[in-house]
Amino acid sequence: MIPYGTVEEASVALGRNLTRLETAWFDYSATKSNFHVYCHTILLLFLVYSLAPLPLVFVELTGWFEQYKIQPKVKYSLSEMFRCYKQVMKLFLLVVGTLQIVSYPSLQMVGIRSGLPLPSLMEIVAQLVVYFLIEDYTNYWLHRWLHCKLGYEMIHRIHHEHTSPIGYASPYAHWGEILILGIPTFLGPAIAPGHIITFWLWIALRQIETIETHSGYDFPWTLTKLIPFYGGAEYHDYHHYVGGQSQSNFASVFTYCDYIYGTDKGYRIHKKLLHQQFCTALRALGSIMIVVVIGIIGFTYYAVVVANYGPSLLIGGFDSLVALLVLALFHFLLVMLLWSYFSVVVTDPGGVPTGWRPELDIEKSDGNQHSTGVANQAPSVGDSSSHGVRYCRKCNQYKPPRSHHCSVCGRCILKMDHHCVWVVNCVGAMNYKAFLLFLFYTFLETTVVAISLLPVFLVFFSDGDGDITVSPGSLAATFVAFVLNIAFALSVLGFLIMHIMLVARNTTTIEAYEKHTVNWPYNLGRKTNFEQVFGRDKMYWFVPLYTEEDMKKLPSLGGLDNASRSETEPLQLL
């Protein structure tokens, strides 16, 4: 309830005249309680659930846009769509509506307000961006959990009854799924609370986005195609097409999590992209991605050093001491980050030497060929774990175990992990350590930046001026830098944990997606596996360099000679 009796009282309290929107909001909500205002959320959701999919019903029944239907063989009748809508409304009345009423104390507790002043357009947009980023990342992991055996069989399989989704099927789910996936939706407003109008916009946009991704139609004029990393209907439709066995395309809005954690590979294969064009596009990125990385680092440097902690050095006292410590740590991590990053960029990941031949295996292979009369037959391609003859038909040469052909680089890479667009290079035997250190220092740097900018970030959402006085430009730069760094910190953390697990098993990303025997021959125990990547000299573990002694004593660091054990040799855990 607005604590002012008249518009004039509100104007005096705010120190300015109310805008037209604020006057209209005052006239409508001044006599209503906060609970009454919040209950409008139920009406909003009902209207979105009922009206937003209606155009898709018309499109489905008329068949006028059949060329844009993602699964054209699947047809839905009016009765089938109405049956789906009835189930959704039953769920809405029993779960969604009740949940909105029960959650009212939570919204009051986190500080979502309904009074004056109304938020500015910039504040609304900024909060919506934060909400989408938080929801997208947390929804990704909860969605992946729902596709494990327990989560799918008990809860998520109901939503996948529609292998070709329709608009009304977006909220069609088990009541438990509504509660679980409601957590990411509420988490953003809980972390960065705003006005109830912003909350309504967030709820409406999120549901409309969900309906659009479940539409079953990929319209070329959809404005969301202009949003970077946006998934859309065609992207999510594949997830439903595969069904319960799907381990791909978990993202709710953006695709970066699927790309970072490798859960979009099945989708890429399904799409049958012209690989040559895709690789050409990656090559074309080239130095652009390096410029992007440097640009993000430069922008962060401005927000931390120029806009915030640099001026604090001149204040004196405890504030200057804190600023000195923050800047010292920031610059140290920045130097290590850049050193590791450019080491990955400029270091050759390791290529197969021209004319390389596995002499012992070739002799055996030649003997077999002569005995069978097929001397001209090319050796088997094999997989990365094969100790026999492996041959690359694209390079027309033999390749060692654990090497793979990179279509972007156009050659075979020793102990190839993946081709990384951020470093414009393959990650292989010679630069894998530098890549891991780049992830490590990036996580530390972005975490330090996020923590150091958090006080100013909170001022952005405060009603008053707060304890920190900064210019609007510096405040905006701080806000953007905080959001960027917290997003990178969360993303890199997951990626770093994955690679730590790979190092512990002496496995690459490519090998992790191949079918291995339980007794993986290159798993030499955690300690030895670690040394196969970082070397034995502890002084060099945290820098992207190797000692000459390590390079001599550990030939596996070069990628050609990979240490392994026999099938019967016991595994040393320490």
Residues 350 and 384: their CA atoms lie apart, in Å, by: 16
Are 360 and 292 within one domain? yes
Task: Quote the tokens at residue 284.
Answer: 């074309």
Note whether 388 and 378 are within 8 A (CB): no
pLDDT attached to residue 162: 83
User: Of 392, 373, 372, 374, which Cα lies nearest the Cα of 382?
Assistant: 392
Higher per-residue pLDDT: 187 or 10? 187
- Residue 499: pLDDT over 60: yes
Active site residue 395: no
Q: Worst-scoring range by mean pLDDT, 88-102, 469-483, 505-519? A: 505-519
Residue entry with tokens 């009796």: 5
pLDDT at 381 over 60: no
Q: What does residue 545 show for φ and ψ, rounded to 5 degrees?
A: -140, 160
Is residue 304 within 8 Å of residue 450, measured between CB atoms?
Answer: no
Q: Is residue 506 part of a domain?
A: yes
Ramachandran sector of residue 340 (left: φ over 0; alpha: ψ -120 to 50; beta: rest):
alpha
Residue 191 in domain: yes
Q: Residue 277 pLDDT more than 70?
A: no
The reply to whether 68 falls in a domain is yes
Mean pLDDT of 568-573: 49
Question: What is the mean pLDDT of the segment spanning 478-501?
Answer: 92
Residue 383 lies in a domain: yes
* pLDDT recorded at residue 28: 87
Q: Residue 202 corresponds to which tokens in the numbers above?
A: 């967030």
Long-range contacts of the stretch 5-10 (C-beta < 8 A, 24+): 10/116
Token pair for residue 169? 């099927």
**Domain end (from 245, 272, 299):** 272
pLDDT-wise least confident of 372-376, 390-394, 551-555: 372-376
Q: Do residues 340 and 280 share a domain?
A: yes
Closest by CA to 571, choosing from 504, 501, 502, is 504
Domain's final residue, options 217, 246, 272 = 272
CA nearest to 249, candidates 220, 214, 222, 224: 214
Same domain, 46 and 171: yes
What is the phi/psi pair of residue 404, to 5°?
Answer: -145, 155
Tell me, what's the pLDDT at 52?
92
CA distances (Å), origin 258, targets 407, 484, 489, 512:
21, 18, 16, 16
Whether residues 228 and 362 fall in one domain = no
Residue 263: phi and psi, rounded to 5, are: -95, 20
Residues for the chain: how many in total? 574
Task: Out of 257, 409, 420, 426, pick the active-site residue.
Answer: 420
Q: How confident is the model at residue 370 (pLDDT cuts 50, 70, 90)?
A: very low
Residue 374 pLDDT: 36
Residues 425 and 518 grouped into a single domain: yes
**pLDDT attached to residue 263:** 86
Domain of residue 357: give its range: 275-369+376-574
C-alpha–C-alpha distance, residues 298 and 229, integer Å: 23
Is residue 463 within 8 Å of 281, Cβ to Cβ? no
Please determine, for residue 567, whether its predicted confidence score (pLDDT) is greater than 60: no
Check pLDDT > 60 for residue 39. Answer: yes
557: Cβ contacts below 8 Å, ≥ 6 apart: 429, 430, 532, 533, 535, 546, 550, 551
Looking at residue 246, its pLDDT comes to: 67
Q: HEC states along 255-283? A: CHHHHHCCCCHHHHHHHCCCHHHHHHHHH
Q: Are residues 325 and 189 in the same domain?
A: no
- Domain match, 451 and 525 both: yes
Of 94-103, 217-226, 331-340, 524-533, the range with the highest mean pLDDT is 331-340
pLDDT exceeds 70 at position 197:
yes
- Predicted confidence at residue 204, as pLDDT, reads 95
195: β partners:
113
- What percent of the chain is modeled with pLDDT above 70? 86
- Per-residue model confidence (pLDDT) at position 245: 64
Say whether both 115 and 214 belong to one domain: yes
Q: How confident is the model at residue 362 (pLDDT cuts 50, 70, 90)?
A: very low
Does residue 222 lie in a domain region?
yes
Query: Which three-class secondary structure string do you get for 399-420?
Result: CCCCCEEECCCCEEECCCCEEE
Residue 243 has pLDDT above 80, yes or no: no
| Residue 371 pLDDT | 36
The answer, as to whether pTM is greater than 0.85, is no
Peptide bond preceding 117: is omega within 30 degrees of 0, i.e. cis? yes
Checking if the pLDDT of 488 tops 90, the result is yes
Residues 293 and 422 reside in one and the same domain: yes
Are residues 267 and 351 both part of a single domain? Answer: no
Give a yes or no: residue 389 inside a domain. yes
Number of domains within the chain: 2
Residue 555 exposure: Cα atoms within 13 Å on the Cβ side: 5
Position 440 scores a pLDDT of: 97
Alpha-carbon 231 to chain mean position: 12
510, part of any domain? yes
Which of residues 436 and 350 earns the better pLDDT score?
436
Least confident of 131-135, 157-161, 384-388, 393-397: 384-388
Q: Residue 387 pLDDT more than 80? A: no
Distance CA 171, CA 178 (A): 8
The answer to whether 247 and 266 are in contact (CB under 8 A) is: yes
Asked if residue 280 and residue 243 are part of one domain, the reply reads no
Would you say residue 22 lies in a domain? no
Quick one: 259 and 279 in the same domain? no
230 DSSP β-pair partners: 254
Q: What average pLDDT does the segment 217-229 reach?
A: 83
Residue 512 binned pLDDT confidence (cut-offs 50, 70, 90): confident
Which has the higher per-residue pLDDT, 242 or 159?
159
- Pick from 247, 272, 297: which residue ends a domain? 272
Q: What is the pLDDT of residue 280?
A: 63
Look at residue 286 and tell me whether its pLDDT is greater than 50.
yes
Rounded to the nearest integer, the mean pLDDT of the chain is 84
Q: What share of the chain is helix, strand, coil (3-state, %, to 5)?
A: 60, 5, 35
DSSP 506-535: T--HHHHTS---SS-TT---HHHHHHHHH-
pLDDT tens column, 98-152:
888 888 888 888 889 888 899 999 999 999 999 999 999 999 999 999 998 888 8
